[in-house]
Chain A
Amino acid sequence: MLKHILAIALKDLRLFAADRKGMLISFMVPIAIASFFTFVMGGGASDPKAATKIAVLVVNEDNDPITTQMIEKLKSSDAIAIEVTDRKAAETAVKEGKKSVAVVFPKGFAEKAKTALFAGDPPQIEELYDPVKSIERQVVQGALMQTLMQEISRAGMSGDGAINNMQLAMSAETDPKRKESWQRMIDEMSQLNRSGSVAGSTENGGGMKQPFEIKATSMTASSSSDADKNATRAHIFGGMAVQGIMFFGIDAAMGLLRDRRTGVWTRMKAAPVASTSLVLGKGLGSWAIAFFVFSGVMLFGMAVFGFRVEGSWLGLVLVTLAAALMTGGFGLFVASLGKTEAQSRGLSVLAVLMMSMLGGAWFPMSMMPKAVQTVSAIIPVRWAVDGVDAVMTRGSGLAGTLVPVAWLCGFAAVFTTVAMTRLRKT
């Protein structure tokens, strides 16, 4: 019995080793996916912190030395990478999805924040964010809280300024017992100041409060929009719809290879029809199916999960058409590379998975390492996802989709041209 078991197992090992390409793919798929996740999570970079920093635009309308110092301090944060700019540039960059978050320090912020430690209304920091990237917004808020609290507390709790702030807090107090406590604290602080010591810690500062508030503003077309809430859902559906039509592209390619294997292609070539027409006909069919699949997935998501088109419907249709066109070309391209279905399927599945990962279909691009973000410009999935995000959550108009659409059409042209050249030869 054992002999038979071993013989069967040995036969399977031989078969596995005989198909070199299949064997290679069996190793490559898990290695590629694991490497990708390791890279994204920071494990593979030489400087993991630098690899995952979120780019944040900062607008300093306050120009107070304390605010300037706070911004300098923010630059040393492990979580965010600061770039100072003006309000208009910041708004545009976030709205176009080029940056995830912009932070605006309004005029008088530092002065108000110091006193707000003890009394008065806290000033607001404006946080403009891309609704597609709400995770980044939370990371940026965390970094702001940590750094700004330290700096404002230091400014508000040192020297005579601290005593003045405490006196302000005491005058606003109505409870006699609490008023008495404030007075004792002021006396202690005055004695410390006279003896040369400097108060610098707020860790045990009872009665103090958060000296600022963060007012987060989603950069969508409509101020009353609930796109923020649904942004994640819309992104997931957009990403998976793109991945789905890419897989359909593989199916279309397999169909063409099957036609070649079964003699259907040869039979079609015997007819008085140009090869160009045959190839374009195949591409057109794939394009139409991909369009319907994409539309169906998005409409299902809208109906069931409640997200909606925040920008231009026409823009969405245009992006969908362009993504479907790219898929049609991709299918032809895959078909033209391999001679058999078996040869092409494994490699193309790997290619689609890699493109989906690197193109932001699984995670927002901003979470990717800088290198991946740069490379993604030559990945068609990235532009399809970008176009969908623009109209679904950023509220972009038709004009906002033109760049992704142009890229997608470019990819479609390249894929189709290469495929036609190769298919005509064979």
Chain B
Amino acid sequence: MVVVQSLVKSFDEIKAVDGVSFEVKQGTCFGLLGPNGAGKSTTISMIVGTLNPDQGQVLIDGQAIKSETDPIRQKIGYVPQEIALFDEINCHQNLSFFASLYGVDKAEMEARANEVLDIVGLKDRANEPIKDFSGGMKRRLNIAVALIHKPKLLVLDEPTVGVDPQSRNAIFDVLEKLKADGMTLIYTSHYMEEIERMCDQIAIIDNGKVMIEGTLEQLLGTLESRFKLTFAFSDAETTEQVDKLFNEPAFGKVIRMDNTIEMLPTNYARAIAESVNRLQQNNIAFEDLRVERGSLEQVFLQSTGKSLRD
């Protein structure tokens, strides 16, 4: 459905996008994960045709956007990072305006407006001015506007910025429904939880470059361990003693920090059983044991050498 080939874009001296390539299959959700300023929005702008690349191209169903009026644009629905709506008018009027830009005729527009407002759960608020809407409602309408002309591809640039968890879940419900109906999605975010939940294929982007790409499983598979075990002890002396006990290949990489021991085992089930057994044999009590699943945060850290939250 979408082929992004070696995109390059510079603004003055700054190279915002530096050779980004990926493919998005029909009916799947592709996630671009990266910190602010990584080049996600610039890449999205080139995909939706509001910015021309310096090099490279974007193909939608095998065709590049050649002009401002290229009909290929009809296939794309774009949800900008900002709430790009007219606050002074109501839902229906906003939808009607953007529908007119895509050449949707009036009769069809009425039906489509009802349909998309139903999808985003705003059907009963159609005639209310949106200035009184909550942030979450505006975000949902922001998505509805992008759907009004029935696109095949929905491109969402950080669509949940500044919304509460409940509204975020409502947005995910909408997107999951669209995906189930066969729509192709490209989704950018710096929230790894969102990307993990939504996306079939993920690219981690930093400094304008794709650092790593694959399914969630593939990305997590690049980690030294899929799980991290953390033992907490009462004092530093005990912790030091345990560090020596766990110094075996079966426990994987072991890191001692103050009164805790972090373990990155290759086989976590075996490691848990072995480590608890070893502690009991040596009459060492632990105060806490946590098991954490490997995350995209760790993948990002491993790929870029820095935290996603930095």
Contacts and interface: CB of A to CB of B under 8 A. Distances in A.
Interface of A: 261-264, 266-275
B86 A270 contact: no
Q: What bracket does the count of chain B residues touching chain A fall in? A: 20 to 34
A273 B82 contact: no
Given A270-B48, A270-B76, A273-B69, A263 B102 contact: no
Interface of B: 45, 48-50, 68-71, 73-74, 76, 78, 80-86, 98, 101-103, 145
Nearest to B97: A268
B15 to A, nearest CB: 20
Contact of B84 (A264, A272, A273, A275): A264
B78 A262 contact: no
B78 A270 contact: yes
Contact of A267 (B70, B71, B84): B84
Given A262-B84, A267-B78, A272 B102 contact: yes
A233 B239 CA distance: 93
Contacts of B69: 272-274
Contacts of B81: 263
The listed residue with most B CB atoms (<10 A of its CB), out of A262, A271, A273, is A271
Contact of B102 (A261, A262, A266, A271): A271
Given A266-B45, A268-B101, A274 B68 contact: yes
Contacts of A261: 82
Given A271-B101, A272-B71, A264 B78 contact: no
Given A263-B80, A264-B84, A264-B85, A270 B50 contact: yes
A20 B48 CA distance: 37
Contact of A273 (B48, B78, B85, B101): B101
A272 B48 CA distance: 11
Contacts of B102: 271-272
Nearest to A276: B68
A264 B50 contact: no
B50 A263 contact: no
Contacts of B45: 266
Contacts of B98: 267-268, 271
20 contacts: A262-B84, A262-B85, A263-B81, A264-B84, A264-B85, A264-B86, A266-B45, A267-B145, A268-B98, A268-B101, A270-B49, A270-B73, A271-B101, A272-B71, A272-B73, A272-B101, A272-B102, A273-B101, A274-B68, A274-B69
A263 B70 CA distance: 21
A113 B80 CA distance: 84
A219 B78 CA distance: 62
